[in-house]
């Protein structure tokens, strides 16, 4: 059997990587998409200084989990006021990068509802105008800097959409761990666990290949080693750098496989219970691991290599690891009863991401 691995993003990694932005722009005008706290923590001033006259447009009010209600006005404003720029620079967590992926594709009508109608109806959105994306993550977790998809939420309709176009791959990922030093403990934990989830989900995945496995094994091992240390020393640039690299590798892994059952569960938990993405997609990991073991000998071998213990011990070890970081691992801990959890699991298995799971057949006990 032959396999195929593809990732077109050029990654620039290391402390101080931010200073590479002017070179990457090469004289082109840019719009900056970032999060509201960027001004208060001095990041926006720094970006303005680094980018100088290249910076033509700033969108700095991107809040967590981009929602269609807010995105509509931002998108239409972007295509009215920033249409002249060639490049969009997203500086922030997954929310800022995913917002930029939605902004970078435009259509002739100038109406955002075309995009949402297409996403909701599962028909492709066919943009006619495009920008180039430079993704600069300030969290270490989502991997959005090396994937082509954006998660867009619709809280009113209780839905999650995935925007995925050939044009929404970033051209560059600029990963500067210095930008992560200001990240609070809560988001450091959430995003670190998101990276762990991406790596494991790419292993128990029908789309896994030897290259994605190589990235995933490294990402699981490094995240499990580094994240607990980082939570004790948030201002350690060396640990920030190692976690950023682990998240990048997890991103490289799932950029080719997409996610699987844990993420499919997470969308319901975020929409119904308001759980932050990184918690919602990591608390079910031991439960999903139990269901993955024994489904495929090849996948078992890769899981054993990633987790570094005999698989019979692995679900317990993974639960202890996640609980040791203060995150409960059972549905009941989040107020979800046995019946609702069973129904949620069944629904998650039938979702697009759930179908990527190697053991996507049965819903068993959920505790």
Ligand X SMILES: NC(=O)c1ccc[n+]([C@@H]2O[C@H](COP(=O)([O-])OP(=O)(O)OC[C@H]3O[C@@H](n4cnc5c(N)ncnc54)[C@H](O)[C@@H]3O)[C@@H](O)[C@H]2O)c1
Phi and psi torsions of 49, nearest 5°? -70, -45
**What sign does the CA torsion over 194, 95, 127, 84 have?**
negative
Q: How many residues does the chain have?
A: 367
Q: Which of 18, 115, 133, 183 binds ligand X (CB under 6 A)?
A: 183
| CB of residue 311 to ligand X, shortest distance in Å | 26
If binding is defined by CB under 6 A, does position 228 make contact with ligand X? no
If binding is defined by CB under 5 A, does position 145 make contact with Fe ion? no
Question: Which pair of structure tokens corresponds to residue 4?
Answer: 């195929």
Span near ligand X by CB under 6 A; candidates 19-27, 86-94, 212-220, 224-232: 86-94
Nearer to ligand X, 245 or 314 (CB): 245
If binding is defined by CB under 6 A, does position 284 make contact with ligand X? no
- Contact partner at residue 192 from ligand X, Fe ion, none, CB < 5 to 8 Å by partner kind: none
Helix segments in the chain, DSSP class H: 21-25, 43-51, 68-81, 94-103, 113-120, 185-203, 210-232, 237-257, 261-273, 277-280, 285-292, 297-307, 314-324, 338-350
| CB of residue 276 to ligand X, shortest distance in Å | 7
Is there a contact between 292 and 303 (Cβ–Cβ < 8 Å)? yes
Nearer to ligand X, 179 or 336 (CB): 179
Residues 88-147, interacting with ligand X (CB under 6 A): 92-96, 98, 138-139, 141-144, 147
| Pairwise CA distance, residues 276 & 257, whole Å | 23
Closest CA to 47 of 24, 58, 26: 58
The region that residue 205 occupies, defined by phi over 0 for left and psi between -120 and 50 for alpha, beta otherwise, is beta
| Pairwise CA distance, residues 243 & 246, whole Å | 5
| CB of residue 267 to ligand X, shortest distance in Å | 8
Contact track, ligand X, 29-58, x by CB under 6 A = ------x-x---x-----------------
Is there a contact between 159 and 119 (Cβ–Cβ < 8 Å)? no
If binding is defined by CB under 5 A, does position 201 make contact with Fe ion? no
| CB of residue 25 to ligand X, shortest distance in Å | 22
**What does the H/E/C string look like for 238-270?**
HHHHHHHHHHHHHHHHHHHHCCCHHHHHHHHHH
Nearest 10 degrees: Cα torsion 47, 51, 55, 59: -20
If binding is defined by CB under 6 A, does position 75 make contact with ligand X? no
If binding is defined by CB under 6 A, does position 241 make contact with ligand X? no
Query: CA distances (Å), 355 to each of 130, 159, 303, 360, in order?
Result: 31, 18, 19, 6
Nearer to ligand X, 47 or 314 (CB): 47
Place of tokens 């939605």: 102
Nearer to ligand X, 275 or 314 (CB): 275
Query: CA distances (Å), 201 to each of 51, 154, 255, 257, 313, in order?
Result: 37, 24, 11, 8, 19
If binding is defined by CB under 5 A, does position 60 make contact with Fe ion? no
| CB of residue 209 to Fe ion, shortest distance in Å | 20
Q: Which of 60, 98, 145, 194 binds Fe ion (CB under 5 A)?
A: 194
Nearer to ligand X, 92 or 351 (CB): 92
Nearer to ligand X, 96 or 314 (CB): 96
| CB of residue 80 to Fe ion, shortest distance in Å | 32
If binding is defined by CB under 6 A, does position 236 make contact with ligand X? no
Q: Which residues bind ligand X (CB under 6 A)?
A: 35, 37, 41, 64-65, 92-96, 98, 138-139, 141-144, 147, 149-151, 179-180, 182-183, 187, 190-191, 194, 277-278
Q: Which residues bind Fe ion (CB under 5 A)?
A: 194, 281
């Amino acid at each position: 059997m032959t396999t195929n691995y593809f990732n077109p993003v050029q990654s620039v990694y290391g402390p101080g990587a931010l200073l590479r932005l002017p070179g990457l722009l090469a004289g082109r005008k840019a719009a900056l998409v970032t999060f509201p706290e960027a001004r208060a923590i001095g990041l926006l001033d720094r970006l303005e200084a680094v980018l100088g006259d290249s910076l033509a447009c700033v969108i700095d009010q991107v809040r967590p989990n981009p929602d269609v209600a807010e995105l509509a006005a931002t998108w239409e404003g972007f295509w009215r006021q920033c249409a002249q720029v060639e490049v969009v620079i997203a500086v922030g967590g997954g929310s800022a990068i995913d917002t930029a992926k939605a902004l970078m594709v435009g259509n002739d009508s100038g109406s955002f509802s075309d995009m949402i109608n297409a996403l909701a109806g599962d028909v492709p959105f066919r943009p006619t105008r495009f920008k180039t994306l430079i993704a600069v993550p300030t969290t270490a977790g989502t991997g959005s800097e090396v994937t082509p998809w954006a998660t867009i939420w619709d809280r009113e309709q209780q839905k999650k959409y995935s925007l995925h176009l050939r044009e929404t791959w970033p051209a560059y990922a600029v990963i500067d761990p210095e930008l992560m030093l200001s990240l609070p403990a809560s988001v450091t934990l959430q995003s670190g666990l998101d990276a762990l989830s991406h790596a494991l989900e790419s292993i128990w995945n029908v789309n896994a290949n030897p290259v994605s496995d190589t990235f995933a094994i490294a990402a699981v091992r490094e995240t499990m080693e580094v994240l607990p240390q980082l939570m004790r020393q948030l201002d350690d640039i060396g640990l920030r750098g190692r976690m950023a690299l682990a998240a990048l590798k997890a991103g490289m892994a799932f950029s080719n496989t997409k996610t699987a059952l844990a993420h499919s569960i997470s969308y319901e938990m975020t929409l119904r219970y308001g759980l932050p993405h990184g918690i919602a997609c990591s608390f079910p990991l031991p439960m999903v691991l139990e269901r993955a073991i024994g489904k495929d000998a090849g996948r078992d071998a890769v899981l054993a290599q990633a987790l570094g213990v005999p698989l019979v011990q692995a679900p317990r070890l993974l639960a202890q690891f996640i609980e040791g970081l203060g995150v409960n691992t059972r549905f009941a801990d989040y107020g979800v009863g046995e019946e609702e959890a069973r129904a949620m699991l069944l629904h998650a298995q039938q979702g697009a991401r759930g179908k990527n799971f190697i053991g996507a057949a049965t819903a068993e006990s959920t505790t």
